[in-house]
Amino acid sequence: MLPVPDEALSTRKLEILAEARKLFSRKGYEAASMRDLAEALGIKPASLYSHYDSKEEILWEIAQRCAHEFHEAVLPAAAGSEPPAERLDRMIRAHIEVVIRNQDASVIFFREWRHLHEPHRSEYAASIAAYEQAFESVLREGMGAGIFRPAPLRLNTHMLLSSLNWVHRWYRPDGAMQVPEIQDHLSKLLLNGLRIP
């Protein structure tokens, strides 16, 4: 599932995607209309349809781009040769960085993609499952090595990702904590909870 690269898209398409990310994040995909998007862009609704055939096509484009960024940042760390705890630390930090860099699109990666219709919905669900499997695999390896405490894998994977995904709801660029501090704090907190004392 590879998105169309930026250089292959027109300036107007990139503007539409950027504004749609904000709109879908703020209002939710279902509540946002093509008219809302056109108004935010300062163009007529008919002009949107010369670039995208439907609102769902825009959602699909944004979803693909967001998923690709998470995969590109996190999966190489999962496939590394370091001990499981070190790899998981890198994965946690990479995930947080992508969430913060794409704060307005993260809600699409986490939730709004469910409005996609087939076959895109199943394709995207498989992409999410593969991403979660990368975390689950490292957790399993750590448990097998006696580094992480025994626990249901799916429970630990969901606990870990839920904690990381919540960052997009509360992070503010002008907040008290900068990105490296958030990465340090959350990684230590989560890894300490997983490790066998």
* pLDDT above 80 for 115: yes
Burial of 135 (0-12, 13-18, 19+ CB in 10 A): buried
Percent of the chain whose predicted confidence (pLDDT) is above 70 = 99
* Residue 108 pLDDT level (bands cut at 50, 70, 90): confident
Please tell me the number of Cα atoms within 13 Å of 140 on its side-chain side: 9
Judged by average pLDDT, the poorest of 2-11, 50-59, 122-131 is 2-11
| 87 pLDDT higher than 70 | yes
pLDDT of amino acid 6: 79
Contact between 63 and 21 (Cβ < 8 Å) = no
What's the pLDDT tens digit per position in 16-52? 999 999 999 889 999 999 999 999 999 999 999 999 9
Cβ atoms within 10 Å, residue 167: 19
Q: At what angle do helices 153-165 and 84-101 cross, to 10 degrees?
A: 40
Q: What is the mean pLDDT of residues 57-75?
A: 94
How do residues 157-182 score in pLDDT, each as one tens digit?
999 999 999 998 889 989 889 999 99
**pLDDT level of residue 7 (50, 70, 90 thresholds):** confident
pLDDT at 1 over 70: no
Of 134, 138, 152, 12, the closest CA to residue 85 belongs to 138
| Average pLDDT value for residue range 41-64 | 94
- Report pLDDT for 114: 92
